[in-house]
């Protein structure tokens, strides 16, 4: 009975979200697009980083690859094929990176992924200048903001479902063990390397698609615009703040934070930095275990026995 209620609730929510463009103006739609983008990114980020505890700053590397694929190919190939190719390239890069980073851990992994994103940006820049002879590319596709939003929404839902499914599957169990203790995991016969690699690849492919889908919104694409490291930081912060180990955590980090950024920049353009910084510090002190846990506490019935609970 409850299961049906949950499913019905979710379907209603999805329907409401999908019909949003019919009620909202361009700005509202722009907001929803940004929300859908960041929720998807944060969820995809947590797909890999949540259970494994590997903090990645490579998000924008994949987003940028996706955007560049669209910019480079959209004039010569049909759009769905471009998306497919983008996803393929993202997947390939993710596999190479994943294979090479298996030995790294902790902060070494964090900064490695940051370096990787910058390396890709530098290489794309060098290629564009010396091979194609231009830097910026124009995207003149007839894709409307509504279509971008629906694509992002669909991708976001798929990502959530994927995460939910992985959490229930054997891989999910394996991941929990890896996150707790890699040595134990390898002793009980879990192929750590393959599991981590698979997750990293899936997460990266989704990020690549987010970049590819959003690209037509900007008209003009250049490395400084699509490889903006802020995107990696925001994604990480949103997921961590919401609670990266939980299914709904990244969403509950991304939505309020995104709206907070928006509200601050709309109302305090000159004091944005200071207010944002102070709020951040406040949040860290007030919500030591993430937004999701905080909400549960606020509801007064924190049943955290069935879950690993706090981030560890």
Partner 1 sequence: MFVTTLIAGLVLGGTYALVAMGLTLQYGISRIMNLAYGETIIAASFLAYALSSSFNINPLISLVLAAPLGFVFSYLIYGLMLRPLVARSKTAMALEIDSILATFGLLFVIQGVMLLMFGGNYISYSYMNFGVDIFGASVAANRLLALVLALALGGGLYLLLTRTLWGTALRAVAVAPSSAPLVGIDANRAVRLAFALGGALAACGGVVISMYQTFTATTGVVFTMKALIVVIMGGVGNLLGALSAGLILGLVETFVATYVSPGLTLAAVYLIFLGILLWRPSGLFGKARR
Partner 2 sequence: MTNTSRRRALKTLSLSAILLCTTAGFSAIAQERTSVKIGYVVSKTGPNAGGAGITTIPNYVLWAKEVKDAGGLELPGGKRLPIEVIEYDDRSSAEEVVRATERLATQDKVDFILAPWGTGFNLAVAPLFDRFGYPQLAVSAVTDKAPQFVKRWKKSFWMLGGGHDYTEALAGVLTKAKAAGTINGKIAMISVADGFGIDLVTAARPSFKKAGLDVTYDVTYPAGTTDFTPMINEAAKGGADTFVAFSYPPETFAITQQAQVAKFNPKVMYLGVGTGFPVYGKNNGPNAEGIMSLGGIDPKNEANAAYRKRHEDVTGKAPDLWGSVITYASLQMLQEAIKRKGIDREAVSNELSTGSFKTVLGDTKMEDNQLRTLWFGGQWQNGQFVAIAPVDRPGATKPVLPKPAWQAK
* Interface ranges with partner 2 (CB under 8 A): 2-3, 5-6, 9-10, 13, 16-17, 20, 23-28, 30-32, 34-35, 122, 125-126, 129-130, 133-136, 138, 140, 214, 217-220, 222, 224-226, 228, 230, 248, 251-252, 255-256, 259, 262, 265-266, 269-270, 272-273, 292, 295-296, 299, 301, 303, 306-307
Q: Which are the contacts of 121, defined by CB distance < 8 A and separation ≥ 6?
A: 61, 64, 223, 227
Per-residue contact string for residues 81-110; x = within reach of partner 1 by CB under 8 A: -------------------xx-xxxxxx--
Which tokens hold the place of 21?
């463009």
- CB-based burial label for 230 (10 Å; 0-12, 13-18, 19+): exposed
Smallest gap from Cβ 105 to partner 2, in A, equals 29
Is position 122 an interface residue for partner 1 (rule: CB under 8 A)?
Answer: yes
Is position 305 an interface residue for partner 1 (rule: CB under 8 A)?
Answer: no
In which residue are the tokens 């499914």 written? 165
Smallest gap from Cβ 233 to partner 1, in A, equals 7
The entry of partner 2, partner 1, none near residue 307 (CB within 5 to 8 angstroms by kind) is: partner 2
Is position 28 an interface residue for partner 1 (rule: CB under 8 A)?
Answer: no
Nearer to partner 1, 173 or 310 (CB): 310
The entry of partner 1, partner 2, none near residue 220 (CB within 5 to 8 angstroms by kind) is: partner 2
Handedness of CA 130, 132, 138, 143 (dihedral sign): negative
Smallest gap from Cβ 286 to partner 2, in A, equals 18
Which tokens hold the place of 178?
């890896």
Rounded Cα–Cα distance for residues 22 and 294 (Å): 34
DSSP H helices in the chain? 2-18, 20-23, 26-52, 59-73, 79-100, 106-127, 145-168, 170-180, 182-187, 192-214, 223-226, 230-242, 249-267, 272-286, 290-298
Which tokens hold the place of 186?
């390898």
CA distances from residue 66 to 5, 39, 144 in whole angstroms, order as listed: 37, 17, 18
Smallest gap from Cβ 141 to partner 1, in A, equals 30
Is position 9 an interface residue for partner 1 (rule: CB under 8 A)?
Answer: no
Nearer to partner 2, 67 or 83 (CB): 67
Is position 260 an interface residue for partner 1 (rule: CB under 8 A)?
Answer: no
């Amino acid at each position: 009975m409850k299961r049906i209620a949950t499913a019905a609730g979710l379907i209603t929510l999805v329907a409401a979200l999908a019909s949003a463009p019919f009620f909202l103006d361009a700005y509202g739609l722009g907001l929803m697009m940004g929300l859908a983008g960041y929720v998807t990114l944060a969820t995809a980020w947590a797909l890999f980083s949540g259970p494994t505890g590997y903090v990645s700053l490579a998000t924008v590397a994949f987003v940028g690859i996706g955007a560049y694929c669209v910019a480079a190919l959209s004039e010569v190939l049909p759009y769905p094929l471009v998306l497919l190719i983008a996803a393929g390239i993202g997947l390939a890069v993710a596999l190479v990176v994943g294979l090479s980073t298996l030995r790294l851990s902790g902060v070494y992994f964090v900064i490695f992924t940051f370096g990787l994103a910058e390396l890709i940006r530098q290489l794309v820049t060098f290629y564009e200048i010396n091979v194609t002879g231009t830097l910026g590319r124009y995207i003149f596709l007839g894709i409307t903001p509504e279509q971008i939003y629906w694509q992002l929404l669909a991708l976001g839902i798929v990502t959530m479902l994927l995460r939910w499914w992985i959490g229930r599957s054997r891989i999910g169990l394996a991941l929990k063990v890896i996150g707790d203790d890699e040595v134990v995991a390898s002793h009980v016969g879990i192929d750590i390397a393959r599991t981590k690699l698979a997750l990293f690849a899936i997460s990266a492919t989704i990020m690549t698609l987010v970049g590819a889908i959003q690209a037509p919104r900007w008209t003009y694409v250049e490395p400084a615009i699509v490889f903006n490291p802020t995107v990696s930081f925001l994604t990480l912060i949103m997921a961590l703040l919401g609670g990266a180990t939980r299914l709904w955590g990244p969403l509950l980090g991304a939505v309020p934070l995104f709206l907070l950024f928006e509200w601050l920049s709309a109302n305090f353009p000159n004091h944005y930095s200071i207010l944002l910084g102070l709020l951040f510090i406040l949040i860290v002190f007030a919500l030591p275990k993430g937004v999701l846990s905080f909400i549960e506490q606020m509801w007064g019935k924190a049943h955290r026995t069935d879950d690993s609970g706090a981030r560890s």
